[in-house]
Structure 1
């Protein structure tokens, strides 16, 4: 049975939760909401484009440097979240709780299975959203043709998987659990939060990410392991970034 937290402890947990969110996915959610308002007041959402992995400099060498800096600094809030969790729980307990305790083959296998389930659904939601005019045209790879393009796209996919799953479940779910919220309140709340920072892609991806969040949340609350979700997210993004023609094929139908 969970003990009642002191008011000061509750304030500390909420402050840390808000701070980490404001430095990472919460900030993205605010920008995504404004972006959706922008594109929806310009014309049909389906006419808009959502470009991912865009070039940051016209000179390839500096573009690579900027891309690596962007990936690295984006992961700083993850380091902050893990520090805060380690301070409360200890490194050993945290490793076991998050599922980073050495079961690499099993975690990869389960992550691949989750990818297969989510991946098919993602294409269906994207196709349906485009047909209904509630989803922007997603262009997942816009870095140009350089020797470093594929490695950077893979790093970007890894960054997304680590950032989102550690912040949402590794940190967010743990904090909300300590604050006394029940499993399904946490699962649904975090699923909506995950979907909110995808609103710049339109309503369709919002719905799809709510569904993805519910599946991910159910798995994490049941299994208590984070790495399969990181693997699944990495594979989903890696395939999307390296095979953008799949979305083009869906769009052309």
Structure 2
């Protein structure tokens, strides 16, 4: 009997010869070193630096969206450049998959539909977002997490649309590269569904370690849920929608509640 924990084996296509396997490993290494793999290594160093500081982790604060200049329009330009970089990462993953015969429709990233994509995405956002907030509070109380300020952008006219764009860019880049691209490539290399899922989830957790061990662990759980959902359904849009909703609520909700809720930094 097939279960959620033991999904049906996906057809990886024609077995690769040694040269093709080597080329695929080189491609994966380059993509990860350009994108989230390098972010993971940098995040590990950030956590190490925070752990070596004299203040405990729970007394330190990290901001997800922070100003990038004291000049308003230079700040806006740099924010937009950061957003474009993430969208370019997403485009890279889509392009490489398309070139290998796995276009957007195959990975579940064709035109989104309300009942098929948006509603499941909203459900996934609630499934991950609410327990995730509880895990963050527990980890911070236990001294395993920094205080996370989702957005400390100045209150300019462009703050709200920029935060929404950040949420969209984050979700697109992460779900395309960390779920669809990485799991697909590992399948081609002969990895099991569980093995490729675990690799994807650990990568997601690694580049969130700058928030603390709680942030890393919470994102590993998110990666396991999101990755398994995609393996079972081949639908990527619900993951992108869910991730974007979670980030939008975090960015905009933080700005609205900051100074009114005691546990927010």
Q: Normalization by structure 2: what TM-score?
A: 0.90
1:59-95 deviation line (CA, Å, top 9, x unaligned):
1112111111121123222222222111110xxx522
CA spacing shift, 1:36–1:183, aligned 2, 3 Å: same
**Which of 85, 92, 95 lines up with 1:73 in the alignment?**
85
1:182-211 deviation line (CA, Å, top 9, x unaligned):
111111121111000000000111111111
CA distance in 2 between counterparts of 1:130 and 1:250 reads: 14
State the partner residue of 1:97.
Answer: 106
- Maintained 8 Å contact 1:123/1:247: no
List structure 1 runs of 4+ shifted beyond 4 angstroms.
none
Is 1:87 matched with 2:99?
Answer: yes
- Maintained 8 Å contact 1:25/1:197: yes
**Which of 37, 42, 48 lines up with 1:26 in the alignment?**
37
- Maintained 8 Å contact 2:15/2:188: no
State the partner residue of 1:128.
Answer: 138
CA distance in 2 between counterparts of 1:160 and 1:83 reads: 18
Gaps of 5+ in 1: none
CA distance in 2 between counterparts of 1:28 and 1:216 reads: 20
Is 1:190 matched with 2:170?
Answer: no
CA spacing shift, 1:52–1:27, aligned 2, 3 Å: same
CA distance in 2 between counterparts of 1:28 and 1:247 reads: 31
- Maintained 8 Å contact 1:68/1:152: yes
Gaps of 5+ in 2: 1-10
CA distance in 2 between counterparts of 1:22 and 1:123 reads: 30
State the partner residue of 1:115.
Answer: 125
C-alpha deviation, 1:4, in angstroms: 2.8
CA distance in 2 between counterparts of 1:210 and 1:178 reads: 23
- Maintained 8 Å contact 1:127/1:250: no
C-alpha deviation, 1:171, in angstroms: 0.7
Is 1:62 matched with 2:74?
Answer: yes
CA spacing shift, 1:53–1:168, aligned 2, 3 Å: same
Aligned pairs, how many? 249
- Maintained 8 Å contact 1:192/1:210: yes
State the partner residue of 2:238.
Answer: 228
**Which of 138, 159, 173 lines up with 1:163 in the alignment?**
173
* Structure holding more helix per residue: 1
State the partner residue of 1:139.
Answer: 149
- Maintained 8 Å contact 1:138/1:247: no
SS at match of 1:97: coil
- Maintained 8 Å contact 2:32/2:38: yes
